[in-house]
Amino acid sequence: MLSKNINLKNFNIKKINKKQNNKVLKILKELLKEENQILNSLRENYVNSYHKKLLLKFKNKTKIILIGMGGSILGARTIYNFLKPKIKKFLFVDSFQSYKNKNINDKNQLNLIISKSGNTLETISNSNILINKKQANIFITENKKSYLMDLAIKLKSEIVHHNNFIGGRYSVLSEVGMLPAELMGLSPNKFRRLNHLVKNKKFIDMLVLNVSNTLNLINKKKFNSIILNYDEKSSDLFYWYQQLIAESLGKKGSGILPIVSSMPKDNHSLMQYYLDGGKNNFFTFFFVKERSSKKIKKYGLLDSHYYLKDKDLNDISFTQFLATEKVFKIKKIPYRSFVINKRSEETLGELFIFFILETILLARAMRINPYNQPAVELIKTETKKILVRS
């Protein structure tokens, strides 16, 4: 049990490495004592750089287009799709095709443009096409000179300062994710659960054991982290997690490659490889218990499958989840399992916090800087060179 909202079954590794556990616990205690802006954003007392008056100003906007890339957009999209708030319509633009068939002349539209640096090429390009100067615009960017800062000033748009100590992939509980969440009618304080979680011994013990077991798996040359996701509404959560892990740990010839697998669909394509293919993988099972799910119509069933009567689709999916767990256990394939009891802001906040702490602890134990992404900057530099020459 990770919390009352989340059941976590840790990796099925029988031998506990107490020395490794103590090392990870020491790193965690040191981390929690630091003046760390990322961790501060996970706490209830974090002060947002925007005022409630800003939210009231745009409360009547019925459509919001969020333009960004990577961590600037994935957190907000995760929140929207995991919780499915019904107050406003959100559209997320993080590719060069996403704006097809979108009405960019809608007067009830609010454009929310997010980029920490203010110079993200894709965000600049999409903003140029999508922004209408007659519409309302909010820019979230660092308080420094940049293309998007200059554009915001030119358009006389609202500007919210991005915390310059928080990188995009860690920014979900800062202004970057919480301003969109408030526009969805959700509460930042319900997401920011760190103060509560660090007082929970079970949470700390499970986090430490999880990180310790992951380090043991890496030492055994298991570098592929495959997420078996049984919840369609959680797809963006794991695309967020994918960036968090890959960009934070993929350095110095090491790291973890996170792969998102959609279940039960991938039972009929990739599962054969997962069970009998290469052995350099470890797995995360993820399931959400839904309160309402469509039921099988017993009157339409043939006798051969009458055992499905009165079962709903969530029941059937959970049965597949349990059956797959059992087969993995028999085959001694390393896995952990998350079962979500309630879909809520608190639950999602706890998942964000768990994965952020997990990532930073893994990086520090591996002696890797979890906050930079030096290799990616090379592509940005080369792209600009080619565009300038062409």
> pLDDT-derived band of residue 163, with 50, 70 and 90 as boundaries?
very high
What superfamily in CATH does domain 52-189 come from? Glucose-6-phosphate isomerase like protein; domain 1 (3.40.50.10490)
Among 13-22, 294-303, 370-379, which range has the highest average pLDDT? 370-379
3-state secondary structure 331-360: CCCCEEEEEECCCCHHHHHHHHHHHHHHHH
The pLDDT assigned to 232 comes to 95
Joined tokens for residue 185: 């009618």
Mean pLDDT, to the nearest integer, of 327-332? 95
| Distance of alpha carbon 335 from alpha carbon 98, whole angstroms | 35
Domain boundaries, the chain: 6-31+192-365, 52-189
Greater confidence (132 vs 313) lies with: 313
Greater confidence (12 vs 169) lies with: 169
Contact 31, 194 (CB under 8 A): no
Residue 320 has pLDDT above 70, yes or no: yes
> pLDDT-derived band of residue 377, with 50, 70 and 90 as boundaries?
confident
> pLDDT-derived band of residue 2, with 50, 70 and 90 as boundaries?
confident
Q: How many CA atoms are closer than 13 Å to the CA of 203, on its beta-carbon side?
A: 20
> pLDDT-derived band of residue 103, with 50, 70 and 90 as boundaries?
low
Same topology between domain 6-31+192-365 and domain 52-189: yes
Count how many residues are written for the chain. Answer: 390
Compute φ and ψ for 346, nearest 5 degrees.
-60, -45
* Model pLDDT for residues 333-373, shown as the tens digit of each residue: 999 999 999 999 999 999 999 999 999 999 999 999 999 98
pLDDT over 70 percentage in the chain: 97
| Distance of alpha carbon 333 from alpha carbon 184, whole angstroms | 40
Q: Helix 71-83 to helix 345-365 angle, to the nearest 10 degrees?
A: 140
Contact 180, 66 (CB under 8 A): yes
Contact 274, 283 (CB under 8 A): yes
| Distance of alpha carbon 51 from alpha carbon 199, whole angstroms | 30
Given its phi and psi angles, is residue 252 left (phi above 0), alpha (psi -120 to 50 degrees) or beta?
Answer: left
> pLDDT-derived band of residue 104, with 50, 70 and 90 as boundaries?
low
Sole residue written with tokens 């009405």: 103
> pLDDT-derived band of residue 100, with 50, 70 and 90 as boundaries?
low
Gyration radius (Cα) of the chain, Å: 22
> pLDDT-derived band of residue 75, with 50, 70 and 90 as boundaries?
very high
Q: What are the residues facing 258 on neighbouring strands? A: 225
Give me the helices (H) in 138-187, please.
147-155, 175-183
Compute φ and ψ for 5, nearest 5 degrees.
-90, -20
Q: What are the residues facing 340 on neighbouring strands? A: 6, 288
* Model pLDDT for residues 52-67, shown as the tens digit of each residue: 999 999 988 888 999 9
Q: What are the residues facing 366 on neighbouring strands? A: none
Instruction: Specify the pTM.
Output: 0.95
Helix, strand or coil for residue 249?
helix
| Mean pLDDT for the chain overall | 92
> pLDDT-derived band of residue 81, with 50, 70 and 90 as boundaries?
very high
| CATH C-level class of 6-31+192-365 | alpha beta
Q: Helix 201-219 to helix 345-365 angle, to the nearest 10 degrees?
A: 40
